[in-house]
Amino acid sequence: MKRIGMLTSGGDCQALNAAMRGVVKSITVRDPEVEIYGFLEGYRGLIYGNFRMLSGHDFSGILTKGGTILGSSRTPFKTIKDPDENGLDKVEAMKQNYYKLKLDCLVILGGNGTHKTANLLREEGLNVITLPKTIDNDLWGTDMTFGFQSAVNIATDAIDCIHTTAASHGRVFIVEVMGHKVGWLTLNAGMAGGADIILIPEIPYDIDKVVDAINKRKERGSKFTILAVAEGAISKEDAALSKKELREKQKNTKYPSVSYEVAARIQEKTGAEVRVTVPGHTQRGGSPCPYDRVFASRLGSEAGKLILDGEYGFMVGIKNREIIKVPLEDVAGKLKYVSPDASIIKEAKMLGISFGD
């Protein structure tokens, strides 16, 4: 009989519940006595011993449910080694709760920051299995993360809706898509929504090239232009700044986000009316799409198998359509960026999409 701790950490996304259901179902089928301790609100629950015992009933009917039944929170990796406001050593507290509950393993679902902490716990001697959760699809070591495709669907829906209104009014529209560091989500939603210009963090843009692309469309008779702009899109000038200079600049900006700056510059240079739409946190919410449900279930199923086999220290991921295990130390701290030379970028350019470069 296994004793499993489980937690979801970082920004929530779709299919967290589906993944946890997968883990628990696949263990329960062979180890019906398994005990599941669900830590509440991410690492906070593990630090402060805040958990509830979960039974099969808790996982019934949650395959299609967005969010996470355990709650989540952001506990920044940067401060994980600092004591909390009462002087508590967080890492030590997590270890103590792990040993007090006599856990065989921790199942941790999260993104990049979460994986750094998970790897730290592994280094501290705990048994850890992780699942790659993020709408950003930026985790190293896996072709795909769950939540991504569902978020693409929501961002694409937004672009679809904007399309009809843009076409009716002959305006320039910007849809701001989530993604501070990587552009997978913006790239895919942009291509799926038929955006004319896509700006992502990995390909700094030249505002004049952006304006050229808009003007060329006008010349060809297109009355409107749609841009999909990542939250972390960056101009060539800004990309050339030092980190410190950039931080300073961003602190003093009058724009709520990058899209508004892009909008202002286009308006200034073309005179066109530019509108910005920010779907924001809706991109993390709602029911997971069928793709994510199947994928998260498969990951959960294989995670359960690893646990039953006593194989710890891995993230489960996907490679060439097969579920794989990747050593946590290989994953932690690495991001999977969109390469400006990737085939998909070339393909997008062949379709006439401008990246402003």
Binding positions for its own copies, 56-75, rule CB under 8 A: 61, 63-68, 71-73
Q: What is each CA distance from 85 to 82, 89, 116, 139, 164, in whole angstroms?
A: 9, 10, 22, 31, 52
Least distance to its own copies, CB of residue 344, Å? 6
The type of residue at 186 is T
Q: What is each CA distance from 163 to 37, 211, 228, 267, 326, in whole angstroms?
A: 47, 19, 12, 19, 41
Q: Which of 12, 58, 136, 138 is catalytic?
A: 136
Contacting its own copies (CB under 8 A), which of 203, 234, 258, 278?
278
Q: How many CB atoms lie within 10 A of CB 251?
A: 7
CB nearer to its own copies: give 61 or 327.
61
CB nearer to its own copies: give 76 or 256.
256
Give yes or no: 357 in active site: no
Q: What is each CA distance from 50 to 23, 71, 138, 302, in whole angstroms?
A: 21, 11, 30, 27
The type of residue at 253 is T
Q: Which residues pair with 7 in a beta bridge?
A: 108
Q: How many CB atoms lie within 10 A of CB 158?
A: 22
Q: How far from the centroid of its chain's Cα atoms is residue 176's Cα?
A: 15
The SS3 call for residue 335 is: strand
CB nearer to its own copies: give 93 or 294.
294
| Per rule CB under 8 A, count of chain residues that contact its own copies | 84
- Contact set for its own copies, span 191-250 (CB under 8 A): 191-194, 223
CB nearer to its own copies: give 252 or 343.
343
Asked if 9 is part of the footprint of its own copies (rule: CB under 8 A), the reply reads no
**Which tokens sit at 38?**
């669900």
Residue 48 CA to residue 36 CA, distance in Å, equals: 17
Q: Which residues pair with 36 in a beta bridge?
A: 4, 54
CB nearer to its own copies: give 3 or 65.
65
- Contact set for its own copies, span 319-338 (CB under 8 A): 320-323
- Contact set for its own copies, span 97-126 (CB under 8 A): none
**Contact range with its own copies by CB under 8 A, out of 75-83, 156-164, 204-212, 235-243:** 156-164
Taking CB under 8 A as the rule, which mask of x and - marks residues 164-183 in contact with its own copies? Answer: xx-xxxx--x----------
- Contact set for its own copies, span 281-320 (CB under 8 A): 281-286, 289-291, 293-294, 297-298, 300-302, 304-305, 320
Which sequence positions are flagged as catalytic? Answer: 136
